[in-house]
Every structure is written in structure tokens, then in C-alpha cells.
Amino acid sequence: MTKSVGIVGARGHVGAELIRLIAGHPDFTLAFVSSRELMGQRVADYFPDHADRIGNELRYSSPAHEELPSLGADAVVLALPNGKAAACVAAFDAAGVDPVIVDLSADYRFDDGWYYGLPELTRAKYTGQRRISNPGCYATAMQLAVVPMLDALAGPVQCFGVSGYSGAGTSPSDKNDPDKLRDNLMPYALTNHVHEREVTRQLGHEVQFLPHVAPHFRGLTITANLPLSRAFARDEAVARYVDRYADEPLVEVGDEAPWVSRIAGRHHVELGGFTLSPEGRRLVVVATEDNLLKGAATQALQNLNLAFGLDEMAGIPK
């Protein structure tokens, strides 16, 4: 049976990717898409490749929070800035309406009442929860890079990250200003970043995160430095990653370090560049992903599929 999905905050970069994915999904339809800036305009005009599925009638709307429960969506994706989700969730609670809610912000990633939806690592913990918190983009890459070695770590993990400026959203700032980013690499939030706290909490192990913004639009890379409690041979370390992700279609393990320029528009995470120090007690791993896709919209679709008992890869282009 087809399920309807509403998107709150559809004007942003991730919202646009969600529209494309849901419009192309065999079992989902778009119930509504909200955007104050685009209110009244036809959604199909912005997505001509999906116009047949979207239809001519669907227009961007701007419902008040208290109107959301009356729109009848089976699932609602909140693609809002941090700090904006609670009012939407409260409206559903007040109305006694209980759709599946997937929140893409950080607002519920520290709430044990919400399922933390990184399926490759938390799938076994999904027991039908209707409130799902989508992991952060960097947090997804960092956790996938660290987990296979988690039981062998000897101290804090350091992750050096570089993202395209789409990760800074659409509200104007230095971090998404192409002129200020040209020929530049901009560090920010070098301690206590929300993704640093998120990953440390999820792994139960300290991760230190050093994020930067680069001049490219989309795609991120992290280089993870893992101190090890004993000496490893490279083949032994790599085998852990190959074995851990052998059945995960959205995680690719390779030999060479992945390039961020090759991940744009792709739906998976690439892990590679495995390098051990001469004594074998320090492993460096590189991970890349498209921050708008596996870092946000694709992962949200995985979680929606999981919530409705569908094939987790349904609607995700191969």
C-alpha cells in the first residue's frame, strides 16, 4: 500500500534531494512540501524529471505547526535547522496524531526516546519506533570509519573533516559564501561540535572532531586517526572493515583513499586509504560521502523504508 510523506522545510538543499527520492520511490507519494519562500509555486516546475510522479496539483505550502497533523501524511520528514523541530513534534503530540516522524536536525539525537537511525549500525535496535532521529552527515562517516576497530582502540580518535559548503545550509554565512571560500579552507567549531558529541555518545568512546569547509558544493571527507591497543597487520585491520560491511550495499570498502570529488551524487559511503604506522598501533582511515545524500536524504529514506517494513534500499538508485 502506498504511503504518503510530507516534508517540512523543503526549500533547502536536503529538502530538494528528499523530493527527488520520494518522487522516485515505488511505494511513497508526496503528501505536502512546505516552504515559506516558494509558497504557492508548483513543485513539479522545480523537478521536471519527476513531474509525472509529482503531478501538476502539488504546490509548496506554508502550514502553521498546528496545521501539520491535519494534513494526513503517513510520515513527516523535518528538514529544518537545529532548534526548530520541537514545535512541529509538539503539534502532533497535542493533536494525538502519530505519523512516523524523521527529524534531520540534531534536536533528538541525544534523546533515548527516539530511534537513532544509522541503519548499518543500529538496525537491530529498531523495534517499530515512530520517532526517528537521522544522524548527522559527518557523524555517519565517522562512526562507519571507527566501528570495526572500536574494541581495539587505546585512546581518543581524532577525525579531520572537510565538507562542501552545502553543509552550511542556505542561510547566508561565511561558511557558504563562495567568494570567501575561494582558494580557502575554513576551520570552525574545533571543539565541542555537535557531531563530536553525537559520535562520542553513540560509540561510548571519545572522538575529537576538527571540521573545515572547502570551496566545493557537496561531498565530505574525514580522515580518522585511530590509536590501537595492540599491533595490527594491515591485512588484519582491512579484513575487519570488509567483514563488517560485506552485506551493506551503501558502504564500499576499497584499498585506495577515496576522493571526495568522486562521491558527489552517490548514495553510499566509501572507506579506504587504510594506513598503519610502522609499529602497527596507529591506523588511519579515510571516509567520503555526499553530505546531502547518505549524510541526510538517502539515510532518511532508508529509515522510512525501515519504518514501513519495506526493502531498505527501495527507491535508492543503485
Kindly report the pTM of this predicted structure: 0.96
Torsional class of 109: left (φ above 0), alpha (ψ -120 to 50), beta (otherwise):
alpha
Determine the Cα–Cα distance for residues 269 and 221; give it in Å rounded to an integer: 10
pLDDT given at position 171: 63
pLDDT given at position 1: 81
pLDDT given at position 17: 96
Fold of domain 137-290: Dihydrodipicolinate Reductase; domain 2 (3.30.360)
Q: What angle do CA 161, 86, 172 make, to 5 degrees?
A: 45
Catalytic residue among 58, 137, 269, 304: 137
CATH 3.30.360.10 in the chain is located at 137-290
User: Which of these, 9, 25, 75, 20, lies nearest to 297 by C-alpha position?
Assistant: 20
Instruction: Give the pairing type, strands 282-289 and 157-163.
Output: unpaired
Tell me: the pLDDT tens digits for 153-174? 999 999 999 999 987 666 666 7
Question: 3-107 architecture in CATH?
Answer: 3-Layer(aba) Sandwich (3.40)
Tell me: the pLDDT tens digits for 176-206? 788 888 889 999 999 999 999 999 999 999 9
| Half-sphere exposure (Cβ direction) of 89: Cα atoms closer than 13 Å | 21
User: Which of these, 292, 310, 307, lies nearest to 21 by C-alpha position?
Assistant: 292
User: Which of these, 59, 122, 66, lies nearest to 97 by C-alpha position?
Assistant: 66
CATH 3.40.50.720 in the chain is located at 3-107
Determine the Cα–Cα distance for residues 133 and 300; give it in Å rounded to an integer: 9
Residues of the chain with pLDDT under 50: none
Is residue 159 part of the annotated active site? The answer reads no
Determine the Cα–Cα distance for residues 11 and 34; give it in Å rounded to an integer: 8
> For residue 57, which amino acid is it?
E
In the chain, where does DSSP find H-type helix? 13-23, 51-54, 85-95, 119-122, 137-146, 178-181, 194-203, 234-244, 298-307
pLDDT given at position 12: 87
Q: What angle do CA 54, 59, 65 make, to 5 degrees?
A: 115
